[in-house]
Amino acid sequence: MGLTIKGNKVEVDPTHNQLLNTGVNGNPFVQIIGALPDEMYVYSTFQRHMTPRSLSRDPNIKRGDNCHLIYALKKKDKWHTTFGSVRHLRRNFTEIVAKMKEDTDKHVTYDALIPMPSGHAISDLYAERIAEIYGCPVLNGVFTKITVQDARQQLARVNLPVPEKKKLQNRLQGNGLLSIKVIPTEYRYLFTAVTLQPSQIPAGCEKILLVDDLLATGSTLLAARDQLLTVIPDAFIDATCLFSAV
């Protein structure tokens, strides 16, 4: 099952697999991020697909990051979906995550799930549903977002050509918390977008599943993993996302 875009409405469509595989076959989708010997496995519930050529001229289809469904679930930029589409997702979600648990159980039993901080409840809801199936606790508040001011300070220390640095500086306007989505994907590796709060991690928590709603470059997950390893050097860390990278 894929997605059909009609104006700003996103619907699950059982007749094709375009844009996103929302079916059970082929999911969960496993990807490896990072470089040897520090790579990390990411298990995504639903696999995103490249925009097919047949849709490339459709003005309603976003290029690159084509996760229209997450925009619709978040009611972002006037995108919306239908109750029937959400029902399809829920029906397949449990079976897909059960398959994921069966696979991960072969090498690890997680002590806890740690969601990445988000401005929307989807990450937390996803973590709660995963935790129900895995039977382990969710540790909220372990990571917090950095501020825009923090991001400016990080950018000041980066060696980039002046035009590129100015382009990024223009994206870091205002105050408050940083939304990593304002940074083009090719530059996200330059920023450590989250900060660890070690006091939120209970003793004996060494096998951890990081949780996020969408995998783009994986830079935030890798930064979170690296910070955890500074306080739990022997930690075993995987990640899971609701939607995969393209």
Looking at the fold, whether 112 and 228 belong to one and the same domain comes out as: yes
Q: Which domain, by its residues, includes 173? A: 148-190
Inside any domain, residue 207: yes
Q: What is the pLDDT of residue 68?
A: 83
Token readout for 202 is 């209970």
**Residue 197 within any structural domain of the chain:** no
The domain total for the chain is 2
**Phi-psi sector, 150: left (phi>0), alpha (psi -120 to 50), beta:** alpha
Q: Does any domain span residue 82? A: yes
pLDDT at 66: 61
**Same domain as 182, residue 100:** no
56 and 159 housed in the same domain: no
Q: Is residue 196 part of a domain?
A: no
95 and 152 co-located in one domain: no
CA distance 135 to 109: 10
User: Is 52 within a domain?
Assistant: yes
Q: For the chain of 246 residues, list the mean pLDDT of each consecutive stretch of 10.
A: 86 87 93 91 93 68 69 85 89 94 93 92 91 95 94 94 94 90 89 93 95 92 96 96 93
Looking at the structure, tell me whether residues 117 and 6 fall in a common domain. yes
Per-residue pLDDT at 64: 54
- Specify whether 66 is located in the same domain as 117: yes
In a shared domain, residues 135 and 105: yes
Judge if 110 and 220 occupy the same domain.
yes
Domain shared by 128 and 169, yes or no? no
Residues 110 and 127 in one domain: yes
- Distance, in Å, from the CA atom of 3 to the CA atom of 193, rounded to the nearest integer, reads 30
In-domain check, residue 239:
yes
